Structure 1
């Protein structure tokens, strides 16, 4: 998330999906907007049998969040 003085807006982006961005007047709106956009794109990728660029990161995060037995 960053502020763009040129656009006079907050810009939400995702490193793993650099072609996506969401502009909004408020930081919370930019955050929720980019999250919704990413969810839609990932759903579309899954529907078309494409591998998510976030798959490895999600697996690593799940493993890190799972406490040892």
Structure 2
């Protein structure tokens, strides 16, 4: 049996939690069609450090939307 292509939800979640600083305060992570929405308490922190979001998007191969 072949492994499905792409990362599982758990792998994606783990990657996000490892890369994003704790002070951002992630409240939830949801798939929204082809995008991944990351809900945070402090989205401005991720906007200031946009390289983090870009790095995650490259790893998981999905577009990311940051919301509060």
Tell me the TM-score normalized by structure 2.
0.29
Larger Rg belongs to? 1
Higher strand proportion, which one? 2
Tell me the TM-score normalized by structure 1.
0.29
Q: Which has the higher contact order (CA 8 A, sep 6+)?
A: 2
